[in-house]
Amino acid sequence: MNAIFAKRGCLTRQELMQYLRGDLGGQQQHDIENHLLDCPLCSAAVEGMAQSQNMEEVEEELESIHNRAYASRAPRLRKMAWINRAAAVGLLLLLAYAGFRYWATSLPERLFAEYFQPLDNQYITLRSAGEPPVNPELKTALDFYTAADFTASLPHFQNYLSTNPDDGQAALLAANACLHSGAPQQAEAYLLPLESKDRQWNGQVKWYLALAYLKQGQQQSTRQLLQAIRGDEYSEYREAAAALMKQLE
């Protein structure tokens, strides 16, 4: 149905010659006559050529008509081709930019996943005779932590540390549980008060604080801490800090 009402292009040389000679069949003749009613260019060509007795002149006129028709369309075709090329180049640039942005924004996440390993639970919970029993909240937190259920350990660490804020070892494990659970800001809050005592834990506080900053995309703060770790001859994370810093450059 759509093909019946589709607007056709100008007549070809062969169609014009066949029309002028009367060589066309009924349906084709009807189609061309309908086209001539809508196309002043083809209609004028037919009228002019109908008065000519020299078929060579007709051929030349047809060539001229088609040349003029193509010339009128050529700038538009060139413009459309330029637009298409520009759109293609723009799309490629957009895809390249999007890829770069994705790579740049995902770099901290990828490096965090590569370097983060939660501390083993080395908290000593055994008590000798006469010593008070282990706080039940701490014990529950450590049980969950040892079972690698870090998210479940968090509320128990929080309850325990709210009344025992000076327990640095519990705070360090709580920070690790936060990092593993995707809560780097909370990990930072646990680690910052311990930073001045970092030597006690062989650089563990600075290392996990650097990872907390990395997880948050704070690369400048991450680099500063990594530089400090590299300069600490007692830190067990010197080599890891140097490798991570190189990947951030």
pLDDT at residue number 124: 72
pLDDT average, residue stretch 148-157: 96
Using a pLDDT cut of 90, give the percent of the chain over it.
43
- The pLDDT mean for the chain works out to 78
CA–CA separation, 150 and 71 (whole Å): 74
Digit-coded pLDDT (tens) for 188-213: 999 999 988 888 888 899 999 999 99
CA–CA separation, 194 and 176 (whole Å): 13
CA–CA separation, 31 and 190 (whole Å): 85
Q: Residue 175 above 70 pLDDT?
A: yes
**Position 100 confidence tier, pLDDT thresholds 50, 70, 90:** very low
Q: Residue 66 above 60 pLDDT?
A: no
Helical segments of 51-167, H only: 55-115, 136-146, 150-163
> Residues 149-187, buried b or exposed e (16+ Cβ, 10 A)?
ebebbbebbbbbbeeeeebbebbbbbbbbbbbbebbebb
Highest mean pLDDT: which of 79-93, 94-108, 148-162, 230-244?
148-162
Digit-coded pLDDT (tens) for 102-152: 344 578 889 999 999 999 998 876 554 556 778 999 999 999 999 999 999
What does pTM read for this prediction? 0.58
Q: Residue 158 above 60 pLDDT?
A: yes
pLDDT at residue number 146: 94
pLDDT average, residue stretch 226-242: 92
pLDDT at residue number 12: 74
CA–CA separation, 144 and 153 (whole Å): 5
pLDDT at residue number 187: 96
Tell me which of 67 and 27 has the higher pLDDT.
27
pLDDT at residue number 98: 40
pLDDT at residue number 28: 79
From the options 1.25.40.10, 1.10.599.10, 3.40.50.920, 3.40.50.1220, give the CATH code of 116-248. 1.25.40.10
What is residue 237's DSSP assignment? Answer: T
